[in-house]
Amino acid sequence: MARFAPYFDGLALEEQIKTLGNDELLDFWEEAHVIDSAVQEQEPASIPPSMQYERAILQELQLRSCQGSLSKQAPAAN
C-alpha cells in the first residue's frame, strides 16, 4: 500500500507520484478518496483535497500508458 514519504518534503506532488509504481498510484488514489469522504462528512462545503491528487495521478498514468504504447510500437533494434 502506498504511503506518504516525509523525506520527499522538498518535492512537488507530481515528482513524488513519478516514484510510485502503478499499483501504488492506484492505492494512493483510493486512499485519497477515502480521506475525502471523511472530510466531506465534517466539512460538506469544502473542496475535496484529492482533486489535485487525482489530476496528478491521472496525468502520470496517461503518460505511462502512452510511453508503453510507444515502446510496443517501436521496432526492436537488432
pLDDT digits (tens, 9 = 90+) for 34-60: 888 887 788 777 677 677 788 888 898
Contact 55, 25 (CB under 8 A): no
Predicted local confidence at residue 52, as pLDDT: 79
Please classify residue 20 by burial: count the beta carbons closer than 10 Å to its beta carbon, then call 0-12 exposed, 13-18 middle and 19+ buried: middle
Cell of 57: 495521478
Structure pTM? 0.62
* 3-class DSSP state of 58: helix
pLDDT bucket at 29, cuts 50 / 70 / 90: confident
Q: How many CB atoms lie within 10 A of CB 14?
A: 13
Phi, psi of 50 (to 5 degrees): -70, -10
